[in-house]
Amino acid sequence: MGDAFDDNYETFKALLDAFPPSEAVKRLELFGIEHEVVQQIRDRHERDTVRIKELEEPHAVVLGNRDTWYTGPQSKDKCWPAIELELQRAGWPRDPSIDALDGSSTRVVSLLNHPKEKSFSTRGLVVGHVQSGKTTNFTAVMAKAADRGYKLFIVLAGIHNGLRRQTQARLVQQLVEPNPALWSQLTGLDKDFTPQENPASYFGKNNRTHVLCVVKKNATVLRKLARWLDKASDFLGDCPALIIDDEADQATVATKSINPLILSIMGSLPKSAYVGYTASPFANLLIDPAAHDLYPRDFVVNLPKPAGHFGTEVLFGRYALDGDDPGQVDDGHDMIRSVPVDDIPCVRPVTKADAEGFEPVITDALRTAVEYFWLVTAARRVRGTGNPHNTMLIHTSVKTSVHNSFRRPLLHLRDTAAGSLQDARFIARLREIWDRESERVLADEFGEAKVPFERLVAELPGVLESCRVIMDNSRSEDRLDYENGPVVAIAVGGNTLSRGLTLEGLSVSYFVRAVSAYDTLLQMGRWFGFRNGYADLPRIWMTDELAEWFRHLATVETEMRRDIDIYMTEDETPLTFAVRLRTHPALRVTAAAKMRDAVTAASSYGGKRVQTRYFRTDADWLRGNIKAARALVGASASHSARVDQRPEVGRFVFHQVPHEFVIDFLSDYRFHEKSPENDADLITGYIRKRVSSAAALQRWNVAVVGTPKGGIFDFGSGVGVGRNSRARLKVDDGTSGFADIKTLMSRRDAVVDLTGDVGRLTESDIRKLRRRELPTTGLLVLYPIDRISEPEPGKKLRAPLDAEEHVIGVGMVFPEPQFEDSAVEKYISADLTDVTIEDEDYSLVDGEEA
């Protein structure tokens, strides 16, 4: 880069930390530094900032300044190196997989207490992703804790025998078998906890082994363990214990039996650290922190998404959050297929009374899903790579009688297919399915090669012969057994398949189960995870409504994780902040009993952005909005303090428009009913309260944002700009009557009323700049959207907008409140009002000095 750059970077990068980019650039240029060198300094500063943020992952929120006693593995360690070696043998790459596991597990262990402390009772939470390797992570944490002197390890492994057994097997394989002399076991593969004689043989000073206990969250089992530990109390004074609660949101929170028993077990252990692991932490974040419960009062760790992981956002996309630009919000992969609403009564009883004697119908969508599964299995046999198992999931009901009713029609479908392999019409149908799916999701985009159909056909007889239909539920004797050779199975089930248990080689899912809460919905998604060797092949059949719910859930997840990350940088702790959880009009965040201590968060329009993403497409509705927009532009042109006109870039900004004209616009403009956050009455009421109580929002900047090219939209009053293009998300049945464009407003648009170099501002810069320059002024942006709006090339999940008239989109940016704000009921969070915090000298702090 040259001497000028090297000499100036360290000297002047502090300016970039202290000032907005535009101000920092001015100050740099005052020193006579050439513009090219200034740009190099900015570029490197931005890269370094991103790199530092990445190195800080996984993000954590921590109570106080906990001593980081654990800084990583040492040469004398035995348990962690054994895991590391096994993962290398299994083909895990050092970078990024093993290194990422090493870093994240080290972070968690560092937040535990030193095992030599006299006593401790720690409560933490680790937030992962569904099917992302949480078991491997807590196994690594256990190994590292064992290497440093933790003695007793209790793993609460869900509520089903299958998951407990699977977890026991994994821990034995990775912890016990490599170092058998270091471990004693209180449970076995087929044996949950039963009281052992002579506790001294496990916890006495003469036994230096680590003790492993893997139990279900079952009241009978936990009661036995609690009583046994209570009897062993004479030997537990110097027994540092780590309790891992896998699926920590299930059965742990707000249960009359399990929750007190976990607390009783912890009460028997003078040195105990409780760490919950879950991908759906909604219930855990809503526990009453003031009660002596399992709220993660000491730390919350946010595990980064592993490379190659198929998660909610990757599959379903998400909606825009504050600071997102339209081009940055991914639509997800084109892997979701629509189940028509009319199919639902064919595959799921309409009422409880219909469950007994229910006979399912193999609909066209279900038949296509099953046939595609056989094609995928054949293709994977041709490729000969990745996981050797092949599974399809059918999940329509929680009722075991409904599961069992699928056996006969699915076996009939399989046998009919096997007998039709010489039928030209059947083969043509399969070819059409394969070619259509291969065109919608290209194999080379995932580093794979499309398997020619002719090679698939040769494998189909063997696929159909080996395909089993398994009813996996609490009453059946069938189980998915992946330990005795490759499996090809269509699994029909309910709760036993809906949490924790891994469906190996899952490639096709047919899911129409009705659910009512975020955590239930997320855990039903067994299709999340890793798809090495067949990342192009997974497909999910579900209703459009369910797909929208998952898209909303992806937005909730992203926002929740951002909350954790943001608070981490603002010197907050789990007892001083409450993670907000965005609500949905049709779904609960979690079960009602788990939300009894939740409060409506003080989340308002203050400091927020509101943008329209849903629109009706009929002419009358759209013409009304055009009329409202033209009236606002006319009023703004007549009553603004000044106008910035940049028609060459498609921008007009009217400054200091009286708020009455904005309220008039909101009374005439119609927001779509699917956008509860865009409630005109709520927004109008909020504006009036701010005007009357805080002398804010009396004036607004009104902007018109279009494009420098494209057909002109005339707002009147001499204001005309090129129409924007916003394609809609595809809706397979085409009968929705509305368009969902997902996101409208860019980060740059949020500062369209500010001057200077704003193009490279970060979200934090934008907030600071608006707070400094426009502390009481709102911004309303009008977007004329072309009624056709063809999607960009390569946007497979988009379709033309095809509205009957041009569309007016609206974005609003509200200034941050300077005083107490008027809440809008969009979020819930834990109630921290009764929390009492102790500072470093143990004096009580509760809003005033003790």
**Tell me: the pLDDT tens digits for 616-648?**
999 999 999 999 999 999 999 999 999 999 988
For the chain, give the number of residues.
850
How many other CB atoms sit within 10 Å of the CB of residue 820?
11
Burial 325-364 (b: 16+ CB within 10 A, else e): ebeebebbbbbbbbbeeebbebbbbeeeeebeebebebbe
Question: What average pLDDT score do residues 777-787 get?
Answer: 96
Q: How far is CA 413 from the centre of its chain?
A: 36
Tokens representing 523 are: 């855990």
Under DSSP, is residue 115 helix (H, G, I), strand (E, B) or coil? coil
Contacts 24+ apart (CB under 8 A), 231-235: 231/199, 232/199, 232/202, 232/203, 232/268, 233/268, 235/199, 235/200, 235/202, 235/203, 235/204
**Tell me: the pLDDT tens digits for 586-623?**
677 676 666 666 655 444 677 788 889 889 999 999 99
Across-strand partners of 610?
812
Nearest of 176, 186, 20 to residue 83 by alpha carbon:
176
Nearest of 235, 173, 234, 224 to residue 194 by alpha carbon:
224
More confident residue, 222 or 761: 222
Across-strand partners of 807?
785
pLDDT of residue 310: 76
CATH superfamily of 78-304: P-loop containing nucleotide triphosphate hydrolases (3.40.50.300)
Query: In degrees to the nearest 10, what's the CA dihedral of 543, 733, 807, 618?
Result: -120
**Which of 157-166, 233-242, 746-755 is modeled with the greatest confidence?**
233-242
CA distance 536 to 445: 8
pLDDT at residue 335 is higher than 80: yes
Q: Name every residue whose Cβ is closer than 8 Å to that of residue 676 and which is 6 or more positions away in sequence.
A: 585, 826
pTM of the entire predicted model: 0.69
pLDDT at residue 848 is higher than 60: no
Structure confidence at residue 18 as a pLDDT band (50, 70, 90): low
Structure confidence at residue 141 as a pLDDT band (50, 70, 90): very high
Q: Name every residue whose Cβ is closer than 8 Å to that of residue 617 and which is 6 or more positions away in sequence.
A: 737, 738, 739, 801, 802, 803, 804
pLDDT of residue 467: 96
CA distance 707 to 647: 9
Rounded to the nearest integer, the mean pLDDT of the chain is: 83
Structure confidence at residue 223 as a pLDDT band (50, 70, 90): very high
Which residue type does 126 have? V
Q: Name every residue whose Cβ is closer than 8 Å to that of residue 185 and which is 6 or more positions away in sequence.
A: 172, 176, 211, 212, 213
Lookup result for tokens 């490197």 = 44
- Sorted by where each begins, the domain ranges of the chain are 3-55, 78-304, 325-542, 609-825
Kindly tell me the sign of the dihedral angle through the C-alpha atoms of 355, 357, 363, 366.
positive
